[in-house]
Structure formats: C-alpha cells, structure tokens
C-alpha cells in the first residue's frame, strides 16, 4: 500500500499569480494530533517587487484564548499592511498576534490572516514557524524540545529534503574529479549515484554498491541532516529514442525490473539503519516524455518508443517504482520531467503532465508517492536566458518565430520548471510538489558566453547572438562541445524549486563517439558522433558532440576539463 502523508505539506511560492505553501510534513507513523500546530504559509500573488500571503494556523494542542505565530525571513522581505492579525517586524523576524476578535483558538481549530509585503531579489520562503513558542509542522513529542536525529534514528519528513541538510558526496566520483588537474575545486560537490543496472545494487567489480553508499552517507552525515541522491534508471526497453543509454532489460522484461531491480533497492532503503537519511530518488530519466514526443505519426517517432507505449511498461515500471520506494518513509521520489527543449511546446506540455499522472497512479502508486519532479537531468538547457524572454520581439517578430526557439513557450529551464509545476498541480499532483533542476552542465560560460543581446537585424541574429546555450540545436544531447558547469548545488534557489542539483556527475560520458563492445547493454548512437549530420529530433543538424568519447557513464577527461574551463559561475 502506498505511503500517504499525515500532515499538511509545504510548497514553495510560485511565480506571479500562483500559490504555494511552506510547511513541513511528518513521518507516516505520526498521527496528526502529535503535531502541536501547523502553519500553512501560502503566497497567493507575487510580482517583481512584492507579494501577497495568506497564513492559516491550526492548533492541535490545548485551547488558547490568545496566540502569536513567529517566523523569520532569509531575505529582505518587509511586511506591510495586514488583516486579521497584528503584525510587527524587527529585522528579519516577524510576529503575528491575534486581534481582539479572533484570539480564541480551540483544539483542532484554525485561524487565518494575511498581509502584503515587499522584497527584491529572491523571495525565499520561511522554513520554521512557532505558535506561542512551540515549533509547528513537526512532532515535538508533545511540546517539549526536540533532539536532532542521529544515525539510525528516523528524522522528521520535511517539505524540502535539501533544506538544512548536507548532500552526499560520492567518494568514487570525487576521487576521479580530484585526480584531474584543477579538479579539486569541485571534487567536494554532491552528485547523483546512478543505479543503471541490476548489478549496480551490489556493486560491479570494485565499485561501491548501494549499501556501501548508504553506509558512507551515514558517516558523512554525523549528527547533521544529510540527503543522498540516487538515480533509478533501468526500465525495460530503456531510453527508446537514444541507443547510447539503452539498458540491460528488454521491452517485455517488466517482471525482472520489479523483482530483480526495484524490490531489492526498496528492501535496502527500508533498512532501519538508514532511517535518518533523506533519500532522494530521481525516477527513470528519459522515459515518460518519450511516450509523448517520440511515438505515433510524429516525425520524431521511433519504432522502439511505439513498442513501449503499446506495452505500457514505462508507465507500469515508473508506477511500480514510485509505489515501492514511496512506501519507505524517508524516501523522496522525484520523477524525471524532461526539459524545456523537449516538452515545452504546446502539443507536448499538457500531454506530458497527463502521462506523468497516469504513471503516478499505476501499479498501486498514488500522487502521494511523488514528492516532486526533476528537469534537465543529464542535459544542457540553460538555466536562465537573461538577454531575451519569450515575450521579446524584433521588428514586430516574436522570438518564438526564431529558428532556435521554434515556437516553444519557454526559452530556459527555470521558467519551464516553474510553469510545468503549475501544470502538474492542475492535473492532480499535490500542491506541495517541488522541482529540481540539474545544473551540472548548463553553465555555458567561457569566452563564447554572450555579454548582451544579439544584433536586432532580425529575430535570428537577436536570439542567436544573445543566447547562452551555444548548442547547434536544442535537440542535441550527447557530450556537447563548449558546455560548462552550471550553478553549484544549492537548496531553495528560486520559487517552486527545491534545489539546483548535479544529478549527472560532471565528467561522465553521455555515450561513445563510435561503437564499443560492452556488457552493459549500451548501444552506439550517432548523436554521440561529431561527424553525424542529424535526424528529425535535432532538426537534421550536426550533433555538436565531442570526439573520442567513452561509453555512457564512463569517465571522459576531456569533457571534464572543458566543463571546468567553461563553468558559469566561473570556478
């Protein structure tokens, strides 16, 4: 039976006109009454300099004749006029106390108030609230102080697993990075651990297995909070549109996927020894979007993707993984959601969200098993294009008509992720879901990075001259020449975004530039060949791939050096 959350969850504030909440959740075995109070902090409207917020307090302790809720801001937010509460602010600390007419707060009762506020920069949401000195949204054992959980002790389920936590540094990747000239500058960064075949669970050769990584995560955790990132990546008929990342399981081997891959992973993650870790799973990249964009009569369709849509094993596999992994109380499932250059078009955007909902309610899973979504995994889409927006125009011609944008609704990954989050909620996902963006290779710095908008000769010179993403075509995905490291991993960087992450470890190849015999089930994809002239999925353009690349997942020193050289922000 799938996990259900027993308390209000938090969501991050969204862009203008959207709503979000900011609350933490609790472990599944903690009843709602064990939480002394909950605070639902929802940004109802946000613009460039201000926002409107609604706050609801629920009291689960003894009845009150007066109340005061407190929180602090991480930024420069300044509360202005409010209603249904007397609101004061000192520095970053805010106190909202009852009015004379709403001081009574019964056990189980709620009261609401709101306010307008100003800000500049980022409107980061408050993460901790107290009601009359008692921390809300967590089980404090009945109003007393809490003790930080240690190794093997279950922690409190939180809205954002990255908030207030260290993130696991994979020692195997770290050693490879540190061995590169200049690599020590980033070798302490957290990256994803890829479980890309059954043997990876126990460890292949001398490589660490899943338990090895979890044990090392406990060591790194110490008495702090720590999140470890796992990539669940072994669907039957995996990556039906790209041979370089094909997997070991054939299109019909759904039973092996369940019993030999997901079940053993779930059993290990459920070991009480690891209960204090925040285990973040990225579930099956490059799978569900293929069912939308690369099937049927579309010019981008492949026979392999048609097979996977017909047999339903992508939907079944993702649903089964979400169900089984979601049963583990300290697992946070994030489903892969492609990227803006894949599903940002009108005919893909809503259809993709619907397909994701289908998978999230298959094989016993429910939307409660989905903590959020991740975009741009192992891809190169620029985080934010500052030199133009989707609303820009040149001589009356919209940037959407440029060859690069090609009628897409989004020009960068941040705007797409925030908008797609809204779409996902609209089809039935919980309003608390958060987004992750993989920024491991989308910095596009170095000497080729534009310093301003392009020439206004026409819409193409304007977009091409100003865009940070220097790929030949947005459909190019393999070992892209000129790419750089992007934003460093960080929690809560923007509204609706749980974290920027390096889920794809920088320096690990996307695929080999020529055929290489292997026992990993990985084929040769011409998109990894720098001499390839393309296919409909990249507009029949050159592949833009680096030469002499190894098999996907293998170390690619030349790429690693280029990523450091072109990093933005620079190293």
Q: Is 28 part of the annotated catalytic residue set?
A: no
Residues 6+ apart with CB under 8 A from 73: 92, 94, 124, 126
Residues 6+ apart with CB under 8 A from 94: 70, 71, 72, 73, 79, 87, 88
Chain-centroid distance, C-alpha 523: 28
477, 228 contact by CB (below 8 A): no
Q: At what angle do helices 413-426 and 346-360 cross, to 10 degrees?
A: 50
Q: DSSP letter at 480?
A: B
Torsion region of 507: left, alpha or beta (phi above 0 gives left; psi -120 to 50 gives alpha): left
- Cis peptide bond N-terminal to 260, omega within 30: no
Whole-angstrom distance, CA of residue 273 vs CA of residue 347: 46
Which has the closest alpha carbon to 52: 89, 28, 82?
A: 82
Residues 6+ apart with CB under 8 A from 455: 461, 462, 465
Residues 6+ apart with CB under 8 A from 256: 198, 236, 249
Whole-angstrom distance, CA of residue 243 vs CA of residue 468: 28
Torsion region of 403: left, alpha or beta (phi above 0 gives left; psi -120 to 50 gives alpha): alpha
Whole-angstrom distance, CA of residue 512 vs CA of residue 525: 8
305, 314 contact by CB (below 8 A): no
Q: Is 286 part of the annotated catalytic residue set?
A: yes
Tokens read off for 423: 């779409």
Which has the closest alpha carbon to 196: 479, 521, 429, 449?
A: 521
474, 411 contact by CB (below 8 A): no
Please tell me which residue in 139, 196, 369, 510 is annotated as part of the active site.
510
Please tell me which residue in 286, 327, 525, 529 is annotated as part of the active site.
286
Tokens read off for 297: 């009569």
Whole-angstrom distance, CA of residue 169 vs CA of residue 147: 25
132, 125 contact by CB (below 8 A): no
Q: Would you please indicate which residues are annotated as catalytic (active-site) residues? A: 286, 510
């Amino acid at each position: 039976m799938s996990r259900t959350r027993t308390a209000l969850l938090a969501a991050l504030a969204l862009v203008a006109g959207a709503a979000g909440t900011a609350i933490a959740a609790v472990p599944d075995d903690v009843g709602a009454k064990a939480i002394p109070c909950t605070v639902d902090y929802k940004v109802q409207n946000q613009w460039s300099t201000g926002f409107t917020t609604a706050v609801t307090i629920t009291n689960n302790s003894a009845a009150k004749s007066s109340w005061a809720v407190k929180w602090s801001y991480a930024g420069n937010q300044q509360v202005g006029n409010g209603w249904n509460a007397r609101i004061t602010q000192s520095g970053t600390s805010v106190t909202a106390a009852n009015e004379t007419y709403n001081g009574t707060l019964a056990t189980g009762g709620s009261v609401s108030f709101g306010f307008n506020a100003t800000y500049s920069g980022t409107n980061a949401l408050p993460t901790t609230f107290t009601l009359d000195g008692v921390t809300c949204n967590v089980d404090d054992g009945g109003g007393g102080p809490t003790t930080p959980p240690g190794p093997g002790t279950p922690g409190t389920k939180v809205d954002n697993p990255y908030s207030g936590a260290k993130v696991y540094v994979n020692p195997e990747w770290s050693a490879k990075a540190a061995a590169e000239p200049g690599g020590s500058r980033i070798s302490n960064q957290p990256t994803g651990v890829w479980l890309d075949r059954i043997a990876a669970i126990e460890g292949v050769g001398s490589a660490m297995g899943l338990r090895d990584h979890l044990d090392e995560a406990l060591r790194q955790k110490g008495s702090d909070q720590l999140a470890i990132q796992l990539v669940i990546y072994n669907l039957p008929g995996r990556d039906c549109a790209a041979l370089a990342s094909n997997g070991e399981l054939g299109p019909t081997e759904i039973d092996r996927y369940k019993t030999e891959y997901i079940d053993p992973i779930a059993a290990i993650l459920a070991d009480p020894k690891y209960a204090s870790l925040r285990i973040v799973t990225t579930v099956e990249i490059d799978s569900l979007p293929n069912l939308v964009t690369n099937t049927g009569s579309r010019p981008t369709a492949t026979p392999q993707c048609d097979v996977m849509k017909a047999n339903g094993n992508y939907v079944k596999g993702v649903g089964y993984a979400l169900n089984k992994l979601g049963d583990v109380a300290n697992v946070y499932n994030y489903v892969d959601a492609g990227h803006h250059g894949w599903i940002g078009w009108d005919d893909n955007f809503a259809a993709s969200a619907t397909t994701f909902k289908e998978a999230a309610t298959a094989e016993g899973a429910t939307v409660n098993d989905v903590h959020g979504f991740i975009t741009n995994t192992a891809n190169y889409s620029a985080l934010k294009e500052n030199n133009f927006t989707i609303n820009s125009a040149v001589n009356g011609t919209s940037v959407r008509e440029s060859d690069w944008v090609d009628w897409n609704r989004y020009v960068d990954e941040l705007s797409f992720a925030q908008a797609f989050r809204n779409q996902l909620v609209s089809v039935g996902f919980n309003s608390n879901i958060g987004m992750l963006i993989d920024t491991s290779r989308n910095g596009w710095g170095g000497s080729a990075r534009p310093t301003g908008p392009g020439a206004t000769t026409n819409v193409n010179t304007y977009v091409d001259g100003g865009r940070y993403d220097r790929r030949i075509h947005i459909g190019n995905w393999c070992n892209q020449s000129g790419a750089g490291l992007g934003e460093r991993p960080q929690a809560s960087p923007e509204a609706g975004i749980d974290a920027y992450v390096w889920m794809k470890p920088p320096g690990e190849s996307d695929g080999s530039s020529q055929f290489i015999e292997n026992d990993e089930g990985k084929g040769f994809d011409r998109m990894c060949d720098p001499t390839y002239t393309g296919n409909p999925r990249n507009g029949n353009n050159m592949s833009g791939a680096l030469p002499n690349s190894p098999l996907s997942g293998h170390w690619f020193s030349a790429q690693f050096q280029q990523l450091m050289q072109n990093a933005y922000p620079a190293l």
